[in-house]
Structure 1
Amino acid sequence: MTTVAPARSGRPLGLACLGLAAASGLLWGASALVWYRVTPAGRAPVAFEGVQVSPSLTGYALLALAGVAALVATGGVVRRVLAVLLGIAGVVVAVTATTALLGSPFATDAPAATLPQPPAGTSVDVLRFQPTAITPAPLLAVAGGLVLLAVAVLVVLREPRLTRLGARYAAPGKRPVEIDPDRAAWQDLDAGRDPTVDAADDPPRGAG
């Protein structure tokens, strides 16, 4: 019995690459926007950008961008593993950004080293439990994380149908070769083999 491989399509791979590019843009944008404005007593508000709140945002943005090339260049188990890693990154980003939307990071007695660092001349202790305005910017990071997760699910579920663009560079010996039945019979005869040995198992081929 011959197993028929599922037809491969370039569209899902294109969607996955587009999703990774979009996620990278969302995360990069979120890292550059202001997430918090903390107003200590008698002072001007202190703004904190996404990269100050979550320094790993730019790293995740670069990971998503690098994932485009990786998805195109890989296949099979390697591509699925890559998708799982991207999905985990997406979950981490989405959870981190959602937490940022729920309250001020300075409403805590946690060590100063674990909190976003303010500009020089401002102490973290001065900002603790002070009025904090939260901007919508973390929503971009949430969206970027969810897009990463969606791409990961798409790749894991549809990998057998995704185009493997790297296959064109495979060694010729590894490519499936279709041989004309009549030509194969002559090659068998030249090699001293009987081309009719498997006739009971396979129906005659090349009969017109």
Structure 2
Amino acid sequence: MLALLLGALALWGASKMTWFAEFRDEGVRGTVRYTESGEQRASALVPLAILALAGVAGAIATSGWPRRVLGVVLVLAGAAGVWAGLDGIRFGGFAPGVPGTQIVLGHLIAALGGILLALGGLAAIKWAGTARKLGARYAAPGANAARKDPDTELWEALSEGSDPTEPPGPRR
């Protein structure tokens, strides 16, 4: 779950960083530096961060196959985060005055957030059966045991060699 929280933080943080910058001629204003944030260039970053936070709640509240399905969704979302981070990344050739380091760092942080999201999904899949779900400690110890049909219990008692019609207590 820590991986999901850190992944959400990384994806949200990357969405606020500069992902694109260039100088444009604005006519009367002259040459102006134009920038776009990660949120503008890769619009999936913030929804993926929100999905990671929802994944934390879902992993706490579920167990078994619903947690496995959630894990698969989180792995796919993590792959989308990695794709969004690495798509269009450029490691050099920036014009003077363009924050090239911040642009590359924003892309890499988004990719890291996607990796953390995928790892959180894999952890949810792996420990779906063993990890406890929310409210499990409040359930009665025998609540999950299937109740048998009374007729079936009578037949099983006969198969074991006891008389089910005999009242309980010491035998004579």
Does 1:164 pair with 2:133?
A: yes
Tell whether the 8 Å contact from 1:74 to 1:166 is kept in structure 2 after alignment: no
**Counterpart in 1 of 2:65?**
77
Does 1:46 pair with 2:34?
A: yes
Report Cα offsets for 1:127-162 as digits up to 9, x if no partner.
Answer: xxx967641211111000000111111221222222
Does 1:149 pair with 2:149?
A: no
Gap regions ≥5 residues in structure 2: 147-153, 162-172
User: In structure 1, what is the Cα distance between the partners aligned to 2:34 and 2:120?
Assistant: 36
TM-score (norm 2): 0.71
Gap regions ≥5 residues in structure 1: 1-16, 104-129, 178-191, 200-208
Tell whether the 8 Å contact from 1:33 to 1:137 is kept in structure 2 after alignment: yes
Q: Rate the CA distance shift 1:40–1:65 in 2: closer, same or farther, 3 A.
A: same
**Counterpart in 1 of 2:89?**
101
Q: Once superposed, what is the RMSD of the aligned Cα atoms? A: 3.0
Report Cα offsets for 1:159-198 as digits up to 9, x if no partner.
Answer: 2222223323447762459xxxxxxxxxxxxxx9997963
TM-score (norm 1): 0.60
Aligned residues: percent identity?
Answer: 31
Match of 1:88 among 66, 76, 79: 76
Question: 3-state SS of the aligned residue for 2:87?
Answer: helix
Amino acid at match of 1:150: L
Q: Rate the CA distance shift 1:98–1:196 in 2: closer, same or farther, 3 A.
A: same
Tell whether the 8 Å contact from 2:44 to 2:84 is kept in structure 1 after alignment: no
Question: 3-state SS of the aligned residue for 1:165?
Answer: coil
**Counterpart in 1 of 2:44?**
56
Q: Rate the CA distance shift 1:194–1:84 in 2: closer, same or farther, 3 A.
A: closer
User: In structure 2, what is the Cα distance between the partners aligned to 1:84 and 1:56?
Assistant: 18
Question: 3-state SS of the aligned residue for 1:45?
Answer: strand
User: In structure 1, what is the Cα distance between the partners aligned to 2:126 and 2:155?
Assistant: 45
* Equivalenced residues, count: 145
